[in-house]
Structure 1
Amino acid sequence: MATVRKSITFTHQQDLWIKQQIEKGDYTNDSEYLRDLVRRDQANQQKLEELRAAIQTGLDSGMSDKTVEEIWKEAEERHAKKNS
């Protein structure tokens, strides 16, 4: 994968934070830390988009004739199947 060099500016406090993460041994250098932040942000954005799509699907489905207890039971069953 090709890489692109970027020049960015941080406040002194932000720079200290990054250095602390490296000193703790979580990362070997600034670039590794920043790439990890970008990857996590990408993953979070993907999860957010999936959640928004699920909410829209729910809204588009309209009102249900089921009771809250029936809906809850179905959700628990789906959860149990998914985690088994």
Structure 2
Amino acid sequence: MSKNTSVTLGEHFEQIIEKSINSGRCEVIREGLRLVDEREQKIKMLRDAIEAGEKSGYVKNFDPVKHLEKLNRSYKKTTIR
């Protein structure tokens, strides 16, 4: 159900909204809210992934030099020249 909400945006944002509406882009507020929602979902996914990684513990017998060498070899194989 729709609900009218009143907020104070400030002159800068009011001008952006007015310009958008005058040019026929009446969905400017909803689009802005969709972008905020999308960003918040991405942040939550990243935080969840970080938490899962932290809970997974440390890798035993990890050799960072060998790991980087392996990544470099893999990168060189997939790089198109």
How many residues align? The count is 70
Residue among 42, 53, 56 paired with 1:47: 42
TM-score by length of 1: 0.56
Q: For residues 38 and 26 of structure 1, do their structure 2 counterparts lie closer, same or farther at Cα, with a shift above 3 Å needed?
A: farther
Match of 1:8 in 2: 5
Distance 2:23 2:63 in 1: 49
Structure 2 unmatched runs, 5+ = none
Instruction: State the Cα distance separating 1:15 from its structure 2 match.
Output: 5.7
Instruction: State the Cα distance separating 1:67 from its structure 2 match.
Output: 3.8
- Structure number with greater Rg is 2
- Aligned-pair RMSD on alpha carbons? 3.2
Distance 1:18 1:63 in 2: 47
**Which AA in structure 2 matches 1:46?**
Q
- Give CA deviations for 1:33-77 in whole Å, capped at 9, x if unaligned: 210121112111110111011101211111123244426x65xx6
TM-score by length of 2: 0.58
Q: Sequence identity of aligned pairs in percent?
A: 25
Q: For residues 26 and 50 of structure 1, do their structure 2 counterparts lie closer, same or farther at Cα, with a shift above 3 Å needed?
A: farther
